[in-house]
A and B are shown apart, each in its own frame.
Chain A
Amino acid sequence: MGFISSSSSFTRYWVKDHLPADYRQQYIEEIRRYAFREIEEDSDIERSSGWVNIMNVMDNEFLGEEFFKGEFVALSLRIDTRRVPSQILKNFCRKAEDERKSAMARDFLSKAERKDIQDMVKLVLLKRAMPNTRTFDMIWDIKSNQLLFSSTNESICLEFLELYKKTFGLNLEQIFPYNMAQNILADGQKARLEQISPASFVPAGAGK
């Protein structure tokens, strides 16, 4: 669920590097370069991902440079996947194998022949499958260098980090309690932070 929906889950990052001086022009080109590309109806591609307009999942052209919103860069990572359900693949493979055996007047097929049939059937079914579309929003505050990404799923976050790095050439650091604390404490206080160990809240006399 993206940020514009009523409920969202998100991960927070710091942008660790400085923006290039000509970042607006550079980013316009790079965002268009890594924009989402639709899976062609007749293709055998199972997955496609890239940037789309945060307010319109179907807009991957960015003609109006809509990703610059005041002090924000706002984009959605769109991921389309096409899958053939395994049971449907099995059913169609069995049917194709029976037809092949019948045509060749044989009782059995070799492992290699069955694999060929499976690949062929999968390709045919894949071309008929509708893609499943998911989007994950990014709101990057250029002033504070803090970025919110609307997923807490590890593999989606990794995919986002990779695309972000390719597009913007900058590194992100995920925010967590310890680096948050380090970020606000003075040097002397940081030393105290290093020394603390987990506290026990178990009341005296209570069984563990």
Chain B
Amino acid sequence: MDMVSLVQEKRFLGREFLTWLWFQSDSHMGVITPEGSQTLEIWIDNKITLESDGQENVEKVICHGENSEMLEAREALSQGKKVTQASFKLCMKDSEWHFTLDDCWLNFRGCKTPKVMLDKKEDPDGLFFEKAFLLQEVVRIVEQLFFQFVKIRISPEWMTEHVPAIRNWIQTGGASAESEEKPPF
């Protein structure tokens, strides 16, 4: 199978990861501790894009809003639409990143790192290393979250515990999901 076909066939992994991450954030007040990492906060950052399945007549729903519950987006999920892009705010210690992930490649779009105070003229290497570190850090954290998802995704508990909890969350909202879903981290 060529790479493009493989990416398309396995695209559901990215879509389910974005949905799962939104669900985890919503169910645990944004606080997550990935395996082997520090506790962090991750929130939907006011924008989610969902699409219907299929090659033709694809319907796209773009939800913006300050309300982190994203009720319209959740309604679209309940109609079978899939998350194709989601914007996140990630906080760790005093640092904050903003970025959007897509389902297909998990590419980062519009990634804003914590502000670097070094000057390009006075200390170009310092600025470079600081930026490189901050970019690698956000990539590392997202990879850890994805690996955590993958381990759950291939486990028998995915179908018996996690999918029912996500369905319940879609239908009833974050509060009830929080009480029923055991923390996965």
Q: How far is the CA of A174 from the CA of B11 in the complex (A)?
A: 14
Cβ–Cβ contact B6 & A180, under 8 A: no
Q: What is the chain B residue whose CB lies nearest that of A195?
A: B154
Cβ–Cβ contact A201 & B166, under 8 A: yes
Asked if B43 CB lies within 8 Å of chain A CBs, one says: no
Cβ–Cβ contact B154 & A196, under 8 A: yes
Given A55-B120, A199-B158, A201-B170: A177 in contact with B129 (beta carbons within 8 A):
no
Q: For A152, list chain B residues within 8 Å (CB).
A: 102, 105, 107, 109
Cβ–Cβ contact B167 & A202, under 8 A: yes
Q: How far is the CA of A139 from the CA of B153 in the complex (A)?
A: 31
Q: What is the chain A residue whose CB lies nearest that of B12?
A: A198
Given A54-B128, A200-B80, A208-B79: A180 in contact with B108 (beta carbons within 8 A):
no
Q: How far is the CA of A72 from the CA of B129 in the complex (A)?
A: 9
Q: For B16, list chain A residues within 8 Å (CB).
A: 198-199
Asked if A91 CB lies within 8 Å of chain B CBs, one says: no
Asked if B136 CB lies within 8 Å of chain A CBs, one says: yes
Cβ–Cβ contact A203 & B170, under 8 A: yes
Cβ–Cβ contact A9 & B110, under 8 A: yes
Q: For A203, list chain B residues within 8 Å (CB).
A: 78, 167-168, 170-171
Q: For A184, list chain B residues within 8 Å (CB).
A: 147, 150
> Which one, A3, A177, A199, contacts B132 given CB within 8 A?
A3
Cβ–Cβ contact B146 & A4, under 8 A: no
Asked if A19 CB lies within 8 Å of chain B CBs, one says: no
Cβ–Cβ contact A72 & B132, under 8 A: yes
> Which one, B6, B120, B143, B167, contacts A178 given CB within 8 A?
B6
- The interface size of chain B toward A, counting residues with CB under 8 Å, comes to 53
Q: How far is the CA of A200 from the CA of B104 in the complex (A)?
A: 18
Q: What is the chain A residue whose CB lies nearest that of B53?
A: A198
Q: What is the chain A residue whose CB lies nearest that of B158?
A: A199
What 0/1 pattern do residues 153 to 194 of A give for CB contact below 8 A with B? Answer: 000000000000000000000111110110011000100110
Cβ–Cβ contact B17 & A177, under 8 A: yes
Please give the distance in Å from A204's CB to the nearest CB on chain B. 7
Cβ–Cβ contact A201 & B167, under 8 A: yes
> Which one, B77, B106, B124, B166, contacts A176 given CB within 8 A?
B106
Please give the distance in Å from A159's CB to the nearest CB on chain B. 17
Please give the distance in Å from B97's CB to the nearest CB on chain A. 11
Q: How far is the CA of A192 from the CA of B155 in the complex (A)?
A: 8
**Which of A9, A141, A176 has the largest count of B CB atoms less than 10 A from its CB?**
A176
Q: For A8, list chain B residues within 8 Å (CB).
A: 108, 110-111, 135
Given A12-B139, A202-B79: A55 in contact with B128 (beta carbons within 8 A):
yes
> Which one, A4, A176, A200, contacts B128 given CB within 8 A?
A4
Residues of B within 8 A of A (CB): 3, 6-7, 10-17, 19, 77-80, 102-112, 115, 120, 124-125, 127-129, 131-132, 135-136, 139, 143, 146-147, 150, 153-154, 158-159, 163, 166-168, 170-171
Q: Which 4 A-B pairs have the closest CB atoms?
A: A178-B10, A198-B12, A177-B13, A203-B171
